[in-house]
A = this chain, B = another copy of it.
Amino acid sequence: MALIRSVFQDELDSVSQSLVDLCEKVAGTIQKATQSLLTSDLRLAEEIISSDIAIDDFQHDLDARIIDIVARQQPVASDLRALATALRMSADLERMGDLAHHIAKVTRIRHPQSAIPAEFYLMFESLGQAAEKIARKTAVVINTRNTEMALEVEKDDDEIDDLHRQLITALVAPNWKHGVETAVDLTLLGRYYERYADHAVSVSRRVFFLVTGKFA
């Protein structure tokens, strides 16, 4: 029995490690997507767009593994909850990959022009850095189950929300001079960063709940 538990524990650890890996992957993707946006780098944008399938496949395999573990080990109570939560986390992480991919698509559609006017570079650089930071921290939260850090992620999300509000304020200001097409692009881009961060927060909250049994 001790041996079986130990194999099972290894399997749980391996699921957790895969979630960490997936989170690191999508942190890298948002970093690159932001870079493609700031430098109008078509090759980088294409690279991100074509790598989205690898993220989807990774998630697909991970989900199949999780269900296989449940079928074979028939876990109950906290182990079963952890595995059900892992399924939800993988869905959040996969969606973060999609959103980074959407950002790269905006780079591509506007190339060789820049999707964002020069005076918004700094704002999008900050959005990209904040989004990457939140994803990297979420990877640590999954790995260490550090609940204090899970709460920090919520605060980091406030930074994204602030930047997003600043963006919308700039868009609707009477002195807006970049036309409606750019406003539409920036509205969607802002939304993608905001949703990306929301999913990271959701992952951190799930870890918090698993560890404490309470909602953050």
Contact = CB atoms under 8 A, between A and B. Distances in A.
Interface of A: 63, 67, 70-71, 74, 76-77, 80-81, 84, 87-88, 91, 168, 171-172, 176, 180-181, 183-184, 187-188, 191
Nearest to A181: B172
Given A183-B184, A184-B171, A67 B84 contact: yes
A188 B188 CA distance: 7
18 contacts: A67-B81, A67-B84, A70-B70, A70-B80, A70-B84, A71-B77, A74-B74, A88-B91, A171-B181, A171-B184, A172-B180, A172-B184, A176-B180, A180-B183, A183-B183, A183-B184, A184-B187, A188-B191
Given A67-B81, A71-B80, A87-B88, 6 more contacts: A70-B70, A71-B76, A171-B180, A172-B180, A184-B184, A188-B191
A184 to B, nearest CB: 5
Contact of A180 (B63, B74, B77, B180): B180
Nearest to A178: B180
A172 B188 CA distance: 14
A180 B184 CA distance: 9
Top 4 closest pairs, chain A to chain B, by CB: A172-B181, A74-B74, A187-B187, A71-B76
Nearest to A179: B172
Nearest to A79: B71
A175 to B, nearest CB: 11
